[in-house]
Structure 1
Amino acid sequence: MEIATTANSVVVYDEYSGTEPTKPEETEVYKPVPPVIKSNASFKEPPSDAIVLFGGDNLDNWISSKDSTNAKWQLNSEGSMTVANKTGDIQTVQNFGSIQLHLEWKSPADIQGEKQSRGNSGVFLQGLYEVQILDNNSNDTYVNGQVGSVYKQHTPLAMASVPSGEWNSYDIIYHAPEFNENGGKTKSGTITVIHNGILIQDHVEIKGTTPYVGWPKNPSHGKGPLRLQDHGDNSRVGFRNIWVREL
């Protein structure tokens, strides 16, 4: 429930009241742990009205989030792209509002690291709201930061990942938040996430941005890019078959 809107359009919610945390672990939740559900990823051709953002041939629809130069991630012969460590996040050239999004991702088979440093990436809707990508196979972490979470806001209903090195699918229905002419938020955004055919986020309310440290914030904004994260820890996450339908 919204309880206040400040002059700089930061909406304060009752669950985010009091002194704002200054350490990331202060916003980490470890229970209840979502059940593990067996799933099978199945992939289809994009719909006829889809905007194909990555079909495997080139990175023309993507730029560096740091400086808007050409995306520097690795393009693979199998029709996928891989996070190129330390080159930074990439984002779409085109900006979007509410969308249906499909993307496929995988962690490397020879997975390394643990907790948040194991196959970590993420997809940011409008560049601001992250759905977490993480290898959680035999890898416990805080549940509001595990695979399929709306980062630091909503724990997924289930852990539906396939084995490390195999392709996962995310199908996401995103409705963008709305703001008035003064920059105040008038309607929260929502996210629904289907992971490998299993519903893991059911039309949940976006409380605001998804920071690593601190409370969600609600800066006024219009359309924005899709952003894919370079977590900077040799995650080597791969992506393929990315398309959207504008809603």
Structure 2
Amino acid sequence: MKFKTILFCIILILFSLEDISAQENFPNTPPEESPMLMQPEMTEIWEPQVKVISAAKTLGNPPSDAIILFDGKSLDAWVSQRDTMKLAQWKIINNDYFEVVPGSGSIQTKMKFGDCQLHIEFSAPDSVKFSGQGRGNSGVFFQNRYELQVLDSYNNRTYSNGQAGSIYKDHAPLVNAMRSPLEWNSYDVIYTAPRFKKNGKLESPAKITVLHNGVLIQNNVSINGLTRYIGLHDYPSAHGDDVILLQDHGAKVQFRNIWIRKI
């Protein structure tokens, strides 16, 4: 019995000596710490506060921070593309909408935009006279370069990347949500401008999301470059913010309720 007790004491002494030796060799080794437990407030962001705006009570109407490009009464936000010193030559009707005056030329905003949210409503002529690209043809150009096609695509077959809601000659819409010529259509667009490197080379392409009459038809697609009628799209040169342009394509397309938000 005494032998077992003596042996146990010797083992305790050896372990104690080993612990002392370890502390002498690594005197600054801190004791093991339990990992810090996450608290709810560690992932809360309080600043900066989110800006308060007033959303429209009626869907499609502008929120409080929107820039009004057309309210039914004035085209003062627009100028002629042919001569930017002249106001837009298109015709306002019934203090409600305006229509293209074929041959007068396209119109463009006085202000320049990059990333933006745009709402615009349009309608083809009530009387159907032509087919294909000849029916209600116009276009919304972002940064004066990248076209979202406007066309009467109601019972009107044409090439898919040239119908209403297409990124012209680039991306066909996911679906055709066009209403009849007797009804108004709306586009709600989220547009992200392209980014360029310091040397002028493309860093990231423009992107666009489009809802046509509330239906998603372009889902954050990459725009492949400058809209061209003939040839492949590309980004030939770097650029910054630029105008929103509405195209005169020889048809009496009608527009109303246009507003935009810089984002």
Is the counterpart of residue 176 in structure 1 residue 196 in structure 2?
Answer: no
How big is the shift at 1:43? 4.5
Q: Deviations over 1:57-91 (max 9, x none)?
A: 11100001111121000111141010000001000
> C-alpha distance in 2, partners of 1:78/1:108?
18
Of structures 1 and 2, the one with the larger relative CO (CA 8 A, separation 6+) is 1
Tell me the number of residue pairs that the alignment of Structure 1 and Structure 2 aligns.
204
Is the counterpart of residue 226 in structure 1 residue 247 in structure 2?
Answer: no
* 43 and 121 in structure 1: CA distance in 2 versus 1, 3 angstrom threshold: farther
Q: After superposition, where does 1:75-94 map in structure 2 within 5 Å? A: 75-94=92-111
Is the counterpart of residue 66 in structure 1 residue 99 in structure 2?
Answer: no
Letter in 1 for 2:216: L
Alignment partner for residue 158 of structure 1, among 160, 168, 175? Answer: 175
Alignment partner for residue 122 of structure 2, among 89, 92, 105? Answer: 105
Letter in 2 for 1:143: S
Percent identity over the alignment? 48
> C-alpha distance in 1, partners of 2:166/2:178?
12
- Gap runs ≥5 in structure 1: 1-41
TM score, norm. by length of structure 2: 0.76
> C-alpha distance in 2, partners of 1:225/1:172?
15
Letter in 2 for 1:225: V
Give 1 or 2: higher helix fraction: 2
Give the SS at the match of 1:173: strand
Larger of the two Rg values belongs to structure: 2
Give the SS at the match of 2:133: helix
Q: Deviations over 1:111-135 (max 9, x none)?
A: 2211101110010011100000100
> C-alpha distance in 2, partners of 1:181/1:58?
40
How big is the shift at 1:165? 2.4
Letter in 1 for 2:146: Y
Task: Work out whether residues 81 and 105 of structure 2, in 8 Å CA contact, stay in contact via their aligned partners in 1.
Answer: yes
1:244 is matched with 260
Aligned-residue RMSD, C-alpha: 1.1
Give the SS at the match of 2:101: coil
Q: After superposition, where does 1:6-155 map in structure 2 within 5 Å? A: 43-68=59-84, 69-155=86-172
